[in-house]
Structure 1
Amino acid sequence: MTVILPDFLKSNVLVVGDIMLDRYWYGSTNKISFESPVPVVEINNVIDIPGGAANVAMNIASLGGRVRLIGLVGVDDAAQRLKKRLTECKIKWNFISVDTHPTIMKLRVMSRNQQMIRLDFEKKFNNVNTDQLMNVIKVYLPQYKVLALSDYAKGTLDCVEEIIKIARFFKIPIIIDPKGVQFSKYKGATILTPNMSEFEAIVGFCSNEEIIIKRAKELMNEYDLLALLITRSDQGMTLLQRSLDPLYFSAQSKEVYDVTGAGDTVVGVLSAALSLGENLEKSCFLANAAAGSVVEKSGTSTVNVAEINNVVQKYEYTKIPTGIVDRGLLKYVVSVVRGRGEKIVMTNGVFDILHYGHISYLMDAKKLGHRLIVAVNSDKSTRRLKGKHRPINVLERRMFVLSALSMVDWVVSFDEDNPIQLILEISPDFLVKGGDYNVNNIVGGKEVLRQGGQVCVLKFQEDCSSSSIIDTMEINEIN
């Protein structure tokens, strides 16, 4: 599948959070100090890079997007260097200067492609008057499509509840990279992006996927969250939503070189994509691809559109089964392909004697999306529906023939009189029936519409039906 990237030049994000300067001292190491058994690093290069919330903004700007950064800094050289670098990258900024605190800076000493030591220069912005910060946010927030909050627990977002309240008033999605063990302060946000350690710090150790899903949904319900995107290192990412099955995105990096700032990249790309109206599944897919690229770089880094596109087009899809599946496997494979941004089409029927009308109808159905599911009445279900002499072909044969069709991805059976429960489990993007059905009378139609899907009625060949073929055969036998 070829994935078309959105026009990131039109993305529009406001970033608020803990602003930092990431300073790198690069040098050579050839001897041990006589003073203490530690290496001596002869520094030959110094690089300053915006970090924390500023790195989120840098990632959006690297895509060509429109972005503004708001946060707290000190009155010092580090703040001036940040302003200069952000301006060079066409990032608009509003810094609230606090003369009692230094700008947060992390100094890393690098040699031979290794981090020797990190030194942190910081004083948390706790108990700082945030009135000016809130006033600036109120002025600029309505001008942006998405609000990204980068929380490193340095004090800038001590007023996060008030910020969320304002964003919800303006109906602006709120993406938060959280920190700490008090997620209650994020109540009402749209999406949180914790890593697995942060997630387990809140909900407790999770020994398997079922526990992760259960506790994630409890967390979302408790704090009124739309979704959780859990970053899981070499296991990729998992998107969990309250009313839908989880989506899994496999890790895309060939080699993990440095994870510094990878979370910033995820939030930046996710926010940029959502600001363009992309759905949550595709936005997470793009963020995962971006993370796969940035961890292959050294230090605090960003990604550009070409790098994301390179990962996306070479995306290593987990090989998934097609053909005849049971319900459990179907739910899993649907989750996987949804994670790639693919649309699911679903139809159902007896499909007793496959004919031209069926083939034509299924071909048209497949054109609506990327994947086609055909749900087939079991033999018992068919007898209740069509009478004791049906089906002509037993379930195994009907499913085998359907699975051999090139346009059909998965064939699944159901024993109930109708597939409403299966439809609810899959939540297709398109629910399709053929013939003269009224949309309001299609089983599962209202439920699919309620979940944001579409219900379609396709033309069916009037002179083709299994029943008419059977009737013709019976007449010919009599004659």
Structure 2
Amino acid sequence: MSDLARHIEALSTARVLCVGDVMLDRFIYGSVDRVSPEAPIPVLRIERETAMLGGAGNVAANVIALGALCRFVSVVGDDAAGSELRHLVAMEIGDNAGIIAEPGRQTTVKSRFIGGRQQLLRADAETVADVGPLWFDSLLGAAREGLAEVGAVILSDYGKGVLSDALITALIGAAQRAGLPVVVDPKGTDYTRYRGATVLTPNRKELMQATGLPADSDAEVAAACQRLIDTCGVGAVVATRSERGMSVVTRDGTAAHLPAEAREVFDVSGAGDTVVATLTAALAAGVPLEDAARLANLAAGIVVGKVGTAVVRAPELLGALHEQEWRHGETKVVTRDEAVERVARWKLRCKRIGFTNGCFDLLHPGHVSLLARAKAGCDLLVVGLNSDESVRRLKGPTRPVQAESARATVLASLAPVDLVVIFDEDTPEQLIRALRPDVLVKGADYSIDQVVGADFVQSYGGRVLLADLVAGQSTTNTIKRMQG
């Protein structure tokens, strides 16, 4: 959780190039109180209209909402809707220099007619054709110019003709030479046209259509994603699975399945745009792929709770993360076997594992200071907690004051703590040997030769950290003061 919080803060440093099919999403709201005498259809009395960026424009808007910068390149028609779109891009993205107007092209407009809360009709106006050769060079030039300023690239393909095969090949090749990750929100069924991309982000239906494979269970989704990786020459697939969450599969066969984070679902339109924007902004900020996917999954859970084409802002992500941490605090309390498995996964991600232990009976500033100093010395902190029986043997029949479940819950709620493991032995020696932490932390009232497990940790290159204590703070003293 603390890693994700830091990653959210880092989004403001991201610079992203987004190339794709921009659209004008128009919403016409009104009320219906009669049926037309001309045909058995409702008559919508129009009350208001709104317009916003859609398609790749919504992707770019989501990048901006996260606090990142976005260089946006697309094509519109030389018409009134195109002028309106260029104005919206200038207002919301900050720069419309990359929006090229092609004469003879009809700007894509999706008009939705809504009576009360019910969508009655959607009417589309568009040209579905590759950008003409006279404008292709301008489009490619604008995109290549943006590559010099960014840390990652989005190709947002809605199949309207901006992302022709030739443009995709040229942009992926240029990004590869520049060392930039390319994330593709794909369209159609032939994903070989995206060969060389870093990540593809199909939804479950698109995944099945592109591979011809089922995609219901985790194993089936992983197999279908691996098929895309093998046949299309991409680095990874992040598959969105609606209420089943998201799956991240990489070229080496590693698969991570993330549960859905949505609390309420009002509208799923645009959720894919939010996912690809968040994922790419995170990669541009240097966030590892799986953590970037976790942020994208969190963002998707927020945006489906909104109505219409919407964006997610960084403070919303942080707030959702804190809520998630509160809701899932108990999942930090695990058995020894679960801890061993989780620590092994963390180590595969090159995380430095810290370990400290104690009774943590009545939590006081000394405990908080110890845990903060322990976390400062590692990436992820595991806390070994003496069970009630263990505490009684060590401290006497009147202790602990709080049961192990209560002590574990309090510890799990603290930001520096990533995992809590209850152990029954008098010392954490067996637990330390099972986890093999990189950093072993104990209070500075111990010497290294007194720290249980120190010799073992040092034997494989780990280190022992003695943390300074807050003077006068102890559970025993607290209890004495309570007793007068």
TM-score under structure 2 length normalisation: 0.71
Distance in 1 (alpha carbons) for counterparts of 2:434 and 2:48 = 61
Alignment match, 1:47:
50
Alignment match, 1:120:
124
Distance in 1 (alpha carbons) for counterparts of 2:69 and 2:281 = 9
Alignment match, 2:63:
60
**1:395-474 equivalence runs, <5 A:** 401=424, 405=428, 411=434, 456-459=461-464
| Aligned-pair CA distance for 1:45 | 0.7
Alignment match, 2:336:
324
Paired positions, count: 389
Q: Which of 20, 23, 45 is matched with 1:20 structurally?
A: 23
| Aligned-pair CA distance for 1:434 | 6.2
Q: Deviations over 1:237-290 (max 9, x none)?
A: 111122263222222222111111111111111111221112222221211111
Distance in 1 (alpha carbons) for counterparts of 2:63 and 2:117 = 27
Distance in 1 (alpha carbons) for counterparts of 2:465 and 2:150 = 47
Higher mean alpha-carbon deviation, 129-138 vs 364-373, is at: 364-373
Percent of aligned pairs with the same amino acid: 29
Describe the SS at the equivalent of 1:26: strand
| Aligned-pair CA distance for 1:197 | 0.6
Note if 1:100 corresponds to 2:104: yes
Distance in 2 (alpha carbons) for counterparts of 1:338 and 1:73 = 48
| Aligned-pair CA distance for 1:78 | 1.2
Note if 1:245 corresponds to 2:245: no
Describe the SS at the equivalent of 2:179: coil
Alignment match, 1:136:
142
Alignment match, 2:387:
none
Alignment match, 1:473:
none
Distance in 1 (alpha carbons) for counterparts of 2:228 and 2:169 = 17
Higher mean alpha-carbon deviation, 100-109 vs 207-216, is at: 207-216
**1:277-356 equivalence runs, <5 A:** 277-315=286-324, 316-317=327-328, 319=331, 322-325=334-337, 343=351, 345=353
Q: Which of 166, 177, 188 is matched with 1:180 structurally?
A: 188
Distance in 1 (alpha carbons) for counterparts of 2:186 and 2:93 = 26
Q: Which amino acid aligns with 1:210?
A: A
CA contact 2:16–2:151 (8 Å) conserved in 1: yes
Distance in 2 (alpha carbons) for counterparts of 1:338 and 1:61 = 33
| Aligned-pair CA distance for 1:61 | 1.3
Higher mean alpha-carbon deviation, 234-243 vs 22-31, is at: 234-243
Describe the SS at the equivalent of 1:6: helix
Alignment match, 2:231:
222
Alignment match, 1:194:
202
CA contact 2:24–2:52 (8 Å) conserved in 1: yes
Distance in 2 (alpha carbons) for counterparts of 1:215 and 1:403 = 49
Note if 1:145 corresponds to 2:151: yes
CA contact 1:321–1:333 (8 Å) conserved in 2: no
| Aligned-pair CA distance for 1:437 | 9.4
Q: 1:406 to 1:157 in 2, by over 3 A?
A: farther
Higher mean alpha-carbon deviation, 403-412 vs 266-275, is at: 403-412
Q: Which of 69, 74, 85 is matched with 1:71 structurally?
A: 74
Describe the SS at the equivalent of 1:92: coil
Q: 1:180 to 1:346 in 2, by over 3 A?
A: farther
Alignment match, 1:350:
none
Alignment match, 1:370:
380
- Structure 2 residues without counterparts, runs of 5 or longer: 356-369, 385-421, 441-452, 467-484
| Aligned-pair CA distance for 1:319 | 3.6
Q: Which amino acid aligns with 1:323?
A: T
- Structure 1 residues without counterparts, runs of 5 or longer: 348-359, 375-398, 413-418, 420-427, 443-455, 462-479
Q: 1:77 to 1:306 in 2, by over 3 A?
A: same
Q: Deviations over 1:111-149 (max 9, x none)?
A: 222211111111113262222211221222121111111
Distance in 2 (alpha carbons) for counterparts of 1:403 and 1:280 = 40
